[in-house]
Every structure is written in structure tokens, then in C-alpha cells.
Amino acid sequence: MLKVVRGIVGGVVRQFAGRLSVLCLVAGMAGVSLAEPVTIERDSALRAEPRTDAGVVGNLAQGAAGNAVARQGAWVQVKSGAVTGWLYSFNVRFGAVSTGAGEGSGTGSALGRVFGPRQRVNVTATIGIRGLDEEDLKQAKLDAGQLQELDGFAASLEQAEAHANQVGLSANQVEYLAQPAQSGGESGVQQ
């Protein structure tokens, strides 16, 4: 059984190495700053800098293809043809797949997948764990011991604030966003 796992891990590692070498070809010697293929999800202006008040250097229409060359906060810098500029990351989809509609069919590209895991994870530790499925959840019975353990890890407000201070976070005043109009949104969900 262990051999099977080793085999799987080996396979994953080999595959991963293969992807890495492909990436290196694509990205040259750039290491982490990969050129990832993106598809434009919504007509967007490309800006010279990652700011809403920066000058527009070009426009990309929905469905256009390009490469993401940098990211900053909500912004991604895309090179498409002769033009390079910044747009909101939620207006692109990573991977060379077009539109959200095809997404359900699971066409995540190799590059997209590498973008996904950012593999500094302990592969061997995770790979043997069985996933949770609906049946597991339906069959699940309460584990009182785990609940007690969980209580022991609870943080007080003071401890939470101390953590925030320690990592340099300070609270901001930000209003909730108005939800865009939904089609058929009912079920008593408050807006």
C-alpha cells in the first residue's frame, strides 16, 4: 500500500517537475513571476498603473487572450499582443479557458493548476488523506471530545487583537457593499 502512495507521490512530483520545466520555458528565468495565460472575462480598459485614476493604455474585449505578468492587490498586469496594462483580477480568468461557462467541465490548464496549489505544501502528508464526500457528512456522528478540544483553542477578543497588532493589522471603517440585483434571489436572504 505504501508503495502505491509512493508511486502516486512520485508521479505527482514528476508531473510537477514537468510543469515547472514548461513554465521555465515560458517564463524564461523569471522564477516566480510567471507569465500565466489569462482570458478576459469582461470588456476592460487597461491602465498604465494599478490605480483607477491611471491613464488608459488600451482596451481588451471579452474573450481576448493574454498573459498575466504581474499582480498587485486586486490588479493584474496583462500583456496581450502589443499592449500591456493593468485591470482588475476579477475581470480575467486564469488558464487558457474562455468564460466561466465552460468552467464546470473542469478544463483547468496545467499552468492554471500550478497557479492553484503554489506547491510548497507537504505533498506526502496530504496525499493519503481521504476526501470528504456527502455520504461522510450524512453518516457523521458527533465527536464530543473534538468539541472540547476545539473549545480549548478559542481566542478571546484580546488575544485576537494582540495577534492583529503583532502582524501589523489595523481596523478600518468600510461599509458593506450594495449587492447587484440578482435574478431570482429569494429565500429570505437579507440584503
Partner 1 sequence: MTLLHNFQARALVLALGIFTAASASAQSIDLNRIFSIGRDAVTAVTGVSEEEELTMGREIAGRMLGAAPMVNDAALQTYVNRVGRWVAAQSERADLPWRFAVINTASINAFAAPGGYVLLTRGLYDILDNESQLAGVLAHEIGHVVRRHHVTVLQKSAALSAGAQLAQRDNRSALVNNMIGTGAEVFARGLDKSAEYEADAIGVVLAARAGYNPFGLIDVLHKLAARGASDGSLALLFKTHPPPGERLGQLGEALTPNMARLPAGTNPDIRRVAAGAGPMRAAQPLPEGARGLTAQQPQEKSKPKDGGGIGIDPGQLLRGIFGR
Cβ distance to partner 1 smaller for residue 58 or 108: 108
Q: What's the gap between Cα 119 and its chain centre?
A: 13
Distance separating alpha carbons of residues 50 and 56, to the nearest angstrom = 11
Distance separating alpha carbons of residues 87 and 64, to the nearest angstrom = 13
Q: Cβ of residue 94: shortest distance to partner 1, in angstroms? A: 5
Cβ distance to partner 1 smaller for residue 29 or 134: 134
Cβ distance to partner 1 smaller for residue 82 or 105: 105
Cβ distance to partner 1 smaller for residue 25 or 152: 152
Cβ distance to partner 1 smaller for residue 28 or 128: 128
What's the burial of 14, exposed, middle or buried (CB within 10 Å: 0-12/13-18/19+)? exposed
Q: Let me know: does 78 contact 46? Beta carbons within 8 Å.
A: yes
Category of 63 on φ-ψ map: left (φ > 0), alpha (ψ -120 to 50) or beta: left
DSSP state of 119: S
Helices H / strands E in the chain, number of each:
6, 7
Q: Let me know: does 36 contact 111? Beta carbons within 8 Å.
A: yes
Q: Cβ of residue 164: shortest distance to partner 1, in angstroms? A: 5
Q: Cβ of residue 50: shortest distance to partner 1, in angstroms? A: 10
Q: Cβ of residue 83: shortest distance to partner 1, in angstroms? A: 21
Cβ distance to partner 1 smaller for residue 82 or 173: 173
Q: Cβ of residue 82: shortest distance to partner 1, in angstroms? A: 26
Q: Cβ of residue 85: shortest distance to partner 1, in angstroms? A: 16
Q: Which amino acid is at 129?
A: I
